[in-house]
């Protein structure tokens, strides 16, 4: 199984900050990676698929990059409504998720 | 608008069974693979099962293989998850999800989730 490691587990940032969330895979794969946002008490929402493709309706301040084993989700200018936990998912071999990064306001 | 509405959750004793349902609307259900993903309390996400468009092919991780059965009724646009021999570690919120590109893929729509608690 491919294991996904997200870092940091907790991130505090201020409104307007550029925020970088990381996801590292235990083995090399192409770009079969997605990012999800989960707000408290809600279901996850798809943000990014195939590493860098923005899902319809998602604000353009969200972007994804990376390949092989290292992937990144960037929020270019943090907004209060972005407070959430973010999960990465590989779908190259089976489906496995990272443990998540909890993003809070400083 | 795509909607996925789960039902059937609740409290169940270890070793017993439970069947979840997911009513889908807003898209042509029979054209899409469907799946279940779960999330244990304050934990991460775990894929549980996927089913092909016709229902002829099903896929499970080892953690539930042999105990859980995914099925669908395309005439009713409804997805099911039959859970047998339940264990305490099956306690989780179960989400009905749509993988737009088949068995190997991300999930573009999620239901609101249904809670399953396995406890004596």
Q: Give the residues across from A90 on adjacent strands.
A: A33, A96
Asked if the model's pLDDT at residue B80 lies above 90, the reply is yes
Asked if the model's pLDDT at residue A30 lies above 90, the reply is no
HSE-CB for B58 with a 13 A CA cutoff: 18
pLDDT on residue A43: 95
pLDDT over 70, % of chain B: 100
Question: Among A29, A43, A94, A96, which would you mutate to test the B interface (most chain B Cβ atoms within 10 Å of its Cβ)?
Answer: A43
Contact predicate B72/B24, CB 8 Å: no
pLDDT on residue B42: 85
- B90–chain A Cβ distance below 8 A for any pair: no
Average pLDDT over residues B32-47: 94
Q: Give the residues across from B6 on adjacent strands.
A: B22
> Which tens digits make up the pLDDT trace of A63-86?
999 988 999 999 999 999 999 999
pLDDT on residue B43: 87
What the block records as the tokens of B75 is 């005439």
SS3 content of chain B, % helix, strand, coil (to 5): 5, 50, 50
> Which tens digits make up the pLDDT trace of A1-18?
899 999 999 999 999 999
CB contact under 8 A, A87 and B112: no
CB contact under 8 A, A45 and B110: yes
Asked if the model's pLDDT at residue A104 lies above 90, the reply is yes
pLDDT on residue A45: 97
CB contact under 8 A, B95 and A44: yes
């Amino acid at each position: 199984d491919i294991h996904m490691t997200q870092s940091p587990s907790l991130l505090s940032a201020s409104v307007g900050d550029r925020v970088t969330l990381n996801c590292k895979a235990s083995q090399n794969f192409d770009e079969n990676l997605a990012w999800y946002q989960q707000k408290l008490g809600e279901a996850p929402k798809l943000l990014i698929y195939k590493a860098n493709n923005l899902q319809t309706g998602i604000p353009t301040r969200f972007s994804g990059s990376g390949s092989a084993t290292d992937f990144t989700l960037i929020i270019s200018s943090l907004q209060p409504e972005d407070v959430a936990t973010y999960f990465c998912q590989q779908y190259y071999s089976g489906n496995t998720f990272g443990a998540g990064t909890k993003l809070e306001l400083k | 608008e795509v909607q996925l509405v789960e039902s059937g959750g609740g409290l169940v004793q270890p070793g017993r069974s439970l069947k979840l349902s997911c009513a889908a609307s807003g898209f042509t259900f029979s054209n899409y693979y469907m799946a279940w993903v779960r999330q244990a309390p304050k934990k991460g996400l775990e894929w549980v099962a996927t089913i092909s468009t016709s229902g002829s092919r099903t896929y499970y991780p080892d953690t539930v293989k042999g105990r859980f059965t995914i099925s669908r009724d395309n005439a009713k646009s409804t997805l099911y998850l039959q859970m047998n021999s339940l264990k305490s570690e099956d306690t989780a919120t179960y989400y009905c999800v749509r993988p737009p590109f088949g068995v190997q893929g991300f999930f573009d729509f999620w239901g609101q989730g249904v809670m399953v608690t396995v406890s004596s």
